[in-house]
Amino acid sequence: MTADETAIDRLIALLDASQRGVVFTGAGISTESGIPDFRSPGGIWAKYRPIDFQEFMASEGARRAYWRRKFATHEAVAGAEPNRGHLAVTELVRRGKVSAVITQNIDGLHQASGVPADCIIELHGNTTYAHCLNCGREYDLEPIREAFLAGETLPLCGACGGLVKTATVSFGQAMPEAEMRRAREESVACDLFLTIGSSLVVYPAAGFPALAKESGAVLVIVNREPTGLDDLADLVINAEIGPTLDAAVNGSK
């Protein structure tokens, strides 16, 4: 599905007119890098039930199921490269058009595509490393993976003995306060809010497009299928993300 030229021209005009844009991304921006999203057919939820935070904390069995699931999907993330969509977002940041990239994604591909770390607000954390839930110490995944695959050994913190988990925010786990605050500030301050590849059903993250719109920003939604917020948006483009953003940002056909 490709966007028609009128829609691309409207997006170009909105980007030109904007002084301070914010990009908000979901799993859809990374499917062209080979990472399945959650809700599309064949996506992650079709195969694996998520382990929520309370289950993870409560039982070793749940923690084993968590790490089994993590390492079953690990290769797709570990081997992924940024695609045209990520690179177009990076270009908007480089041009000074976009002050922040708020992402629900946990794959680290905005960092890998060259967006400076201080411009990225990760609402749901990052699955490319682990950390201790007690003292916060960070851990590489590879030694954890080797020990787990060898004997389903569960990782514990070498410093304090706390439980170690990927640095992601699980269902039932508190949202990160500083990131939520920054995301709110950026949403209120921007004049253009560009939502890319999110079904906009996971709250509180999906509240930011509405907050930006209420605060006076122009709201653009780029997604293959309709979302619950399309009625609020000034421009909705139902098309593939990579070619659409590449055309709007780099003028490619």
Site size for ligand NAD, by CB under 6 A?
A: 28
Q: Rounded to an integer, what distance in angstroms lies between the CA atom of residue 83 and that of residue 121?
A: 19
Q: Which of residues 38-77 bind ligand NAD (CB under 6 A)?
A: 38-40, 43-44
Q: Which of residues 121-150 bind ligand NAD (CB under 6 A)?
A: 124
Judging by DSSP bridges, how do beta strands 125-132 and 138-139 pair with one another?
antiparallel
Check residue 3 for interaction with ligand NAD (CB under 6 A): no
What's the min distance (Å) between Cβ of 201 and ligand NAD? 6
Among residues 8, 88, 89, 105, the one that binds ligand NAD under rule CB under 6 A: 105
Q: Which stretch binds ligand NAD (CB under 6 A): 57-65, 101-109, 135-143, 147-155?
A: 101-109
What's the min distance (Å) between Cβ of 67 and ligand NAD? 17
Q: Which candidate in 86, 110, 124, 131 is catalytic? A: 124
Check residue 198 for interaction with ligand NAD (CB under 6 A): yes
Check residue 221 for interaction with ligand NAD (CB under 6 A): no
> What value, to the nearest 5°, has the Cα angle with vertex 129 and ends 201 and 196?
30
Q: Rounded to an integer, what distance in angstroms lies between the CA atom of residue 163 and that of residue 240?
A: 40
What's the min distance (Å) between Cβ of 194 and ligand NAD? 13
Radius of gyration of the chain (CA): 19
86 assigned to active site: no
Return the number of the residue (106 or 132) whose C-beta is nearest ligand NAD: 106
Among residues 224, 246, 247, 248, the one that binds ligand NAD under rule CB under 6 A: 224
Among residues 240, 245, 247, 248, the one that binds ligand NAD under rule CB under 6 A: 240
Q: Rounded to an integer, what distance in angstroms lies between the CA atom of residue 104 and that of residue 169?
A: 10
Structure token pair of residue 161:
């003995």
Q: Rounded to an integer, what distance in angstroms lies between the CA atom of residue 3 and that of residue 148?
A: 45
Helix, strand counts (H, E) of the chain: 10, 9
Phi, psi for residue 108 in degrees, rounded to 5: 70, 15
Task: Indicate the residue type of 102.
Answer: I
Burial class (CB in 10 A: 0-12, 13-18, 19+), 87: middle
Give the active site residues: 124
Give the binding site for ligand NAD (CB under 6 A). 26-28, 30-32, 35, 37-40, 43-44, 104-107, 124, 197-199, 201-202, 223-225, 240-241
